[in-house]
Amino acid sequence: MSRSSHPRGGAAGAAAAAMAEPGGWKGHVVRQLRLRDRRQRAGFVDLLEAYNKLLEKSNLLVQAQAMDLRTGLSPWSPWEPPSPVLDPTVVLQTTKIKYQRQIAELKDLSGVLAYHIIELNTILKAKETELEVQRTRLASLQGQVSELEGQHQQLRGQMKGLGRGNSAVKLEYDALRDCYRCRECELRREVERSQELTESLVRKKAKAAEYKNYQNERFKRAKHDELFRQLKKVTNETISIDIGPEVVKPAKGKGPSQDFTKLEDCEKPGKRPFSYRLKRGNSVSSRLESSYCYVPACVVACLPSFISDIQEAHLSEVNAVKFCPSSTMLATGGTDKLIKLWNVVGGRLESVRTLEGANGSITSIEFDPMGCQILAASYNKAVQLWKIEDCKSRETLTGHTDKVTAAKFRSTRYQAVTGSRDRTVKEWDLGKGACCRTIDVCSYCNDVVCWENIIVSGHHDKKIRFWDSRGPRCTEVIPVEGKVTSLHISQDQMHLLSCSRDNTLKVIDLKMNNVRQVFSADGFKCGSDWTKAIFSPDKSYILAGSSDGTLYVWSMENGKLVTSLPGLHGASVNAVAWSSSGQHVVSVDQGKKVVLWK
């Protein structure tokens, strides 16, 4: 069968060939369609050619038969030899029978061929239907291709735009990198200059301290010599002391003996006169060496039961609270970078003064043993020392590289210990304003306590570490189940209290260095990484604040919860303080409030 016998297939092939390009997926689709056309057409070509030939032969035979009947001649067959002349009727009958037989055979063959043609038409229709489906699919795919080409062009445009943007960003990045390098060089020079200035300042402070110590020593010597001369005069006199209401009078002289009597007014009077002579080598403290203030002794601590006063003390969260040793003054510190001093008068809090100058949020407050100075740690990587009388910052201790979380005085007011989130604990000489030792730890330090030569630090890695000031290494490590948030040592220095994020408080026996008691309660939850818990002054109770604003008090004797105080705190309690007299308790929270309990 030629291309003319299949006009639709030929037209489709021509259209596909015209639409296809030399390469790509379109060419592949056209080649596949052509191959399928050839395969389907090859099975029908031979059959149709044979059918056409048979039809032509049948037409020729019919035409020859008709011609023979008109002329009266017998048909001649090229494959049969010429026969002798016979009777025309017989010949005609014979030819008729022959042709009838051939016509019957051709009819049978025609029926078979017609059946084949029907089958082939059915197949052709199915193929045409499939071809229409393929054409529809091809049209859909062409639409998708067009859409994808549009998207491709759009993406190419976006890519070009992004490329231009990236080029601009790269140029800007190169400029910023060059600027960063310049700034880094400037920073390095400034750091070196800062180090030089710091070293120069330290040297100047050391010289000033030496000069001040020299002047103090001269003043002390002069004062000592003057006092010694006065005492030398007094020792040559006899003082009569009689038991009775009358005032003690010196035997001779007035001024020196009166001064000496004042020096001896704490002694109990004897029953008979005596002579007092100061031996050489003894000395009396000068005015420069201030004595400790009076600290009220707490025989029995009073359990807090009701709210005596409540104040909105700071502009934001209150982190620290501390009573002075005499229990008459209270200090609070918050994230507003202020330290406020309060007097407790008649069950009320009266604001006294405000210490300003901190450059960061206050995290810890500590009074010195005399109650004259305040040591405060802050988020600006520094610790500041204030003098309460003039509200001035006397010293700023710098050296930590991250937030300072705790600052405590040592056994004297001239030494301090600090802990920081830079994983160090530092010892400071407050007279020189310089760090005398740095202890490197592998975890954040949240709180420190110290006594004599021992320093204890609580850490983020759920461990409590003991350090000896006379040794370089850690002497003891006590693990707990949660991050340590606070430490507090009892007044007799026999027990240590720790608060941790596992919502428990633990009492550690400092003789055995092991956990003696564990305190917990339903509803108690440690609210932050700096929540503080304390002993009562007589070590009968343990006090801590919860995240829901409730205060919990436990008994040291039996380890049971004594009471819970759901005060007016609307936020998590950060810290608590118990006065040395045992009469007042103060709690501070994250909602700016300071609550006085009685």
Work out whether strand 307-312 and strand 593-597 pair parallel, antiparallel, or are unpaired: antiparallel
Using DSSP's 3-state secondary structure scheme, residue 236 falls into: coil
Work out whether strand 362-367 and strand 373-378 pair parallel, antiparallel, or are unpaired: antiparallel
Structure tokens at 322: 């501390």
The tally of domains found in the chain comes to: 2
Domain-embedded: residue 482: yes
Domain-embedded: residue 237: no
Domain-embedded: residue 47: yes
Domain-embedded: residue 178: no
Q: Which residues of the chain have pLDDT under 70?
A: 1-23, 67-88, 236-299, 567
Selection from 427, 429, 431, 410 nearest residue 419 by Cα: 427
Output the pLDDT for position 41. 76
How crowded is the C-beta side of 337, counted as CA atoms within 13 Å?
8
- The angle, 0 to 180 degrees and rounded to 10, between the axes of the packed helices 88-235 and 25-71 is 170
In DSSP terms, 332 is beta-bridged to 321, 340
Amino acid at 263: L
How crowded is the C-beta side of 79, counted as CA atoms within 13 Å?
0
Output the pLDDT for position 209. 75
Instruction: Report whether 545 contacts 586 (CB < 8 A).
Output: no
Output the pLDDT for position 438. 93
Euclidean distance between CA atoms 161 and 210, whole angstroms: 70
Using DSSP's 3-state secondary structure scheme, residue 584 falls into: coil
Picking from 151, 168, 185, the residue at the C-terminal end of a domain is 168
Order of strands, sheet of 514-519, starting from the edge strand that comes earlier in the sequence: 484-489, 495-500, 504-509, 514-519
Q: How far is CA 213 from the centre of its chain?
A: 48
Instruction: Report whether 466 contacts 456 (CB < 8 A).
Output: yes
Output the pLDDT for position 288. 36
CA distances, 587 to each of 14, 296, 306, 555 (Å): 95, 21, 12, 19
Output the pLDDT for position 271. 37
Based on the fold, state whether residues 163 and 312 are members of the same structural domain. no
Based on the fold, state whether residues 164 and 312 are members of the same structural domain. no
Output the pLDDT for position 33. 86
Which parts of 144-221 are beta strand (E)? none
Output the pLDDT for position 87. 63
Selection from 396, 326, 333, 324 nearest residue 363 by Cα: 333
Output the pLDDT for position 515. 93
Selection from 336, 327, 405 nearest residue 371 by Cα: 327
Euclidean distance between CA atoms 450 and 409, whole angstroms: 8
Output the pLDDT for position 536. 94
Output the pLDDT for position 219. 76
**CATH at residue 393:** 2.130.10.10
Give the domain range for residue 452.
307-597
Domain-embedded: residue 210: no
Widest distance between CA atoms in the chain:
204
Picking from 135, 168, 201, the residue at the C-terminal end of a domain is 168
Structure tokens at 153: 């062009």
Picking from 112, 137, 168, the residue at the C-terminal end of a domain is 168
How many Cβ atoms sit within 10 Å of the Cβ of residue 147?
Answer: 10
Euclidean distance between CA atoms 275 and 425, whole angstroms: 54
Burial group, residue 214, by CB count within 10 angstroms (0-12, 13-18, 19+): exposed
Domain-embedded: residue 299: no
Output the pLDDT for position 233. 76
Output the pLDDT for position 296. 55
